[in-house]
Amino acid sequence: MKVLLVGGGGREAAIAASLKKSAHVDTLYCAPGNAGIASCAECVPIGVMEFDRLIAFAKEKAIDLAVCSQDDPLCAGIVDAFEGAGIPMFGTRKNAAIIEGSKAFSKDLMKKYGIPTAAYEIFTDAEKAEDYLKTMASFPIVLKASGLALGKGVLICRNLEEALAGVQEIMLDRKFGAAGTQLVIEEFMTGREVSALAFCDGKTYKLMSSSQDHKRIGDGDTGLNTGGMGTFSPSPFYTKEIDQICRETIYQKTLDAMAAEGRPFTGVLYFGLMLTKDGPKVVEYNTRFGDPETQVVLPRMKTDLVEVMQACMNGTLDQIQLEFEDNAAVCVVLASGGYPEHYEKGKVITGLEHFEGRDDIFCFHAGTKFDENGNIVTNGGRVLDIVAKAKDLKSARAKAYEAAACVHFDGAYMRHDIGRALDEI
Ligand code: AMP
Ligand code: GLY
């Protein structure tokens, strides 16, 4: 098969590696890709929102399967556009991608179908939101821009003053653009967070191995929210008992709810869960593979990725036996100094040869490119995802940090406590 992957981050680097391993893939293209993805796919300089150019390219190359797992193009209808042009694409159609694209939609869905989540109110009027906040008996409270905001549109406000400033930022200053047209004000929950990713064919889901992200920039979960600074998989906190509860109260109910709404969900559904003392609750849904969760989940998947994707698209997922290796993986993100705020690009990266020919450590490129001299240089906030596999989480963590120490660029930043929670068990 000829396969076209749309995207160019660390998640796509992990997807590309799994696609390349598939028995069904002869040729792999990636648009736009990056300097690391170029080692396993032919990169094509077309942006993820350029649907017409992507479709023209796919037709010219007679692509058999296209794959997209990025929120912006999915919510804008890339799957519908490809299907309309007669090219099968793995991903979620626009009318179902709204589960991530509108938090107002997903909160109302959960309320209507009795899926456990934080209590909330939705506002389109800043003054009404402010009046409501003034009636709050306790803080913290959580403010969320309803639309897509690169994972950054969530504010946890410790008091009324911060909450009112948050309404100003999201609804009036439009810090997250049109995403702030609607505001969700939500009860603050406490508990451990787990990411559960599931392949879906509209009616059946198959759960992948669990994982945990580290969203804050600083050690000890301090500082600003980021796209994700590191992950581990599986999560030892996602026990068999919790799995059973989630299967009964969350996963199938969500798929059935989407189908009942006339929005059957196909693709990867990401359940961001909080394990509260009242049981697991949904923090958020995403309509795609998580980033950087994918980097620790897919390298452990034994089942052929193309076969699973095709089953999702054909409605035959119930016939797939999804299997994972009985081991563990840890990912440490190397970011540009200053991320998630201001940072410089174009720093030369060295030490990448360390990963060549290894099947236990991987360096998935997230934000890199080739400069005019052929050097691999930094080209984003999150630059490299260093992943190690080992028999258990603690050995994987040690190996990931050892591997991360082999790579260098000016101003490289990483958290030093990815997987610290593992010391509690
Ligand atoms: P989201 O983009 O909705 O996943 O939110 C980003 C992060 O904010 C989550 O991963 C949580 O750490 C935190 N968060 C979101 N909603 C809540 C909530 N209701 N209570 C506590 N923390 C939350
Ligand atoms: N790692 C969080 C996300 O993919 O949204």
Q: Residue 128 has what pLDDT?
A: 97
- Nearest ligand atom owner, CA of 120: 1
- Contact by Cβ (8 Å): 100, 265: no
233 pLDDT more than 80: yes
144 pLDDT more than 90: yes
Under DSSP, is residue 250 helix (H, G, I), strand (E, B) or coil?
A: helix
The percent of residues in the chain predicted with pLDDT above 90, rounded, is 96
Q: Residue 225 has what pLDDT?
A: 85
Residue for token digits 């690169």?
Answer: 150
AA letter at 159: N
Q: Mean pLDDT, the chain, as a whole number?
A: 97
Residue ID of nearest Cα to ligand 2 atom 5:
290
pLDDT tier, 224 (very low <50, low <70, confident <90, very high otherwise): confident
Tokens standing for residue 214: 């580290």
Please state whether the predicted TM-score (pTM) of the whole model is above 0.75: yes
Q: Is the CB of 154 under 6 A from ligand 1?
A: yes
336 pLDDT more than 80: yes
AA letter at 83: E
Residue for token digits 């299997």?
Answer: 323
pLDDT in tens, 337-350: 999 999 999 999 99
- Nearest ligand atom owner, CA of 212: 2
359 pLDDT more than 90: yes
Query: Cβ–Cβ contacts within 10 Å for residue 156, how many?
Result: 16
pLDDT tier, 186 (very low <50, low <70, confident <90, very high otherwise): very high
Q: What is the mean pLDDT of the segment spanning 121-150? A: 95
Site to probe by mutation for ligand 1, drawn from 103, 150, 155, 156 as the one with most ligand atoms within 8 Å of Cβ, is 156
Tell me, in angstroms, the distance from the centre of ligand 2 to residue 210's CA. Answer: 13
CA torsion, ordered 82, 83, 88, 89, to nearest 10 deg: 50
402 pLDDT more than 90: yes
Tell me, in angstroms, the distance from the centre of ligand 2 to residue 245's CA. Answer: 23
Distances (CA, A) of 153 to 145, 175, 184, 188: 5, 9, 10, 15
Q: What is the mean pLDDT of the segment spanning 14-42? A: 98
- What are the residue ranges of helices labelled H in 142-239? 160-167
Q: What is the mean pLDDT of the segment spanning 402-413? A: 98
Using the 8-state DSSP alphabet, how is residue 400 labeled? H
425 pLDDT more than 90: no
Tell me, in angstroms, the distance from the centre of ligand 2 to residue 288's CA. Answer: 9
How far apart are alpha carbons 5 and 17 in whole angstroms?
11
Tell me, in angstroms, the distance from the centre of ligand 2 to residue 305's CA. Answer: 20
pLDDT in tens, 242-300: 999 999 999 999 999 999 999 999 999 999 999 999 999 999 999 999 999 999 999 99
Based on DSSP, count helices (H) and strands (E) in the chain, helices before strands: 13, 23
